[in-house]
Structure 1
Amino acid sequence: MTDETYPAAGTNSRSHLGAGSRITGELSFPGTVELPGYVKGRVDASAIVIEQAGEVDGELHAASVAIKGRFQGQIIGGKVALHASARVTGDVTYESLSIETGAQVEGVCRRRPYSGGAKPVDQARGSSVE
Structure 2
Amino acid sequence: MDKYEKRRLRLIDIKDTLCGGKIVDLARRIDREQSYVSRMLYPEGKKWKKRIADDMVDVIEDAFNLPKGWLDGINNGLDIKKERILTKQHEILLDLFDSLPKSKKNKFIKELAEEKDEIDNLIAEIKELHRNTKRAS
Q: Considering the TM-score relative to the shorter chain, is it more than 0.5? A: no
TM-score (norm 1): 0.26
Would you tell me which structure has more strand in proportion to its own residues? 1
Larger radius of gyration: 2
